[in-house]
Amino acid sequence: MRERRSPHECVIALDVGGTGMKGALVDRSLNPLLTLRRPTPRHAGPDAVVDEIAVTLELLARQAGERGLTARRAGVVVPGIVDEDAARAVHSVNLGWRDLPLAAVLARRTGLPVTLGHDVRAGGLAESALGAARGARDVLFVAIGTGIAAAVLCDGRPVRAGGYAGELGHLCVEPEGKPCGCGGRGCLETAASAAAVAAAFTARSGRAVSGADEVAALLRQGDPHARAVWARAADALATALAAAAALLAPELIVLGGGLAEAGDLLLDPVRGRLAGRLTVQRRPRLERAALGDQAGCLGAGLYAWRAADRAEGVVSL
Q: Is there a domain that residue 305 lies in?
A: yes
Residues 111 and 171 both lie in one domain: no
Task: Answer yes or no: do 142 and 227 share one domain.
Answer: yes
Shared domain check, 270 and 199: yes
253-308: pLDDT as tens digits: 999 988 999 999 999 999 999 999 999 999 999 999 999 888 999 999 999 999 99
CATH at residue 17: 3.30.420.40
Q: How many domains does the chain have?
A: 2
Are 151 and 26 part of one and the same domain? no
Mean pLDDT of all residues belonging to the chain:
93
**pLDDT greater than 90 at residue 153:** yes
Do residues 86 and 142 both lie within one domain? Answer: no
Residue 4 belongs to a domain: no
- Average pLDDT (311-315) is 68
Distance of alpha carbon 142 from alpha carbon 243, whole angstroms: 13
C-alpha span between 230 and 245 (Å, rounded): 22
> Is the same domain home to 106 and 152?
no
Q: Are residues 111 and 182 in the same domain?
A: no
**Owning domain of residue 117:** 9-122+294-312
**Same domain, residue pair 160 and 264:** yes
Residues 273, 213: one domain? yes
- Is 127 inside a domain boundary? no
Helical H segments across the chain, by residue range: 46-66, 102-110, 119-130, 189-192, 194-205, 212-220, 224-248, 264-277, 295-312
Residue 86 placed within a domain: yes
Task: State the Cα–Cα distance between residues 246 and 253, nearest whole angstrom.
Answer: 13
Say if 94 falls within a structural domain. yes
Q: Same domain for 191 and 276?
A: yes
d(CA 57, CA 49): 12
Residues 285 and 299 in one domain: no
pLDDT digits (tens, 9 = 90+) for 240-256: 999 999 999 999 999 99
Per-residue pLDDT at 258: 86
What would the pLDDT profile of 98-137 be if each residue is shown by its tens digit?
A: 999 999 999 999 999 999 999 999 999 999 999 999 999 9
* Residue 184 maps to a domain: yes
Same domain, 226 and 86: no
> Does residue 150 lie in a domain region?
yes
Question: Rounded distance, CA 162 to CA 205, Å?
Answer: 42
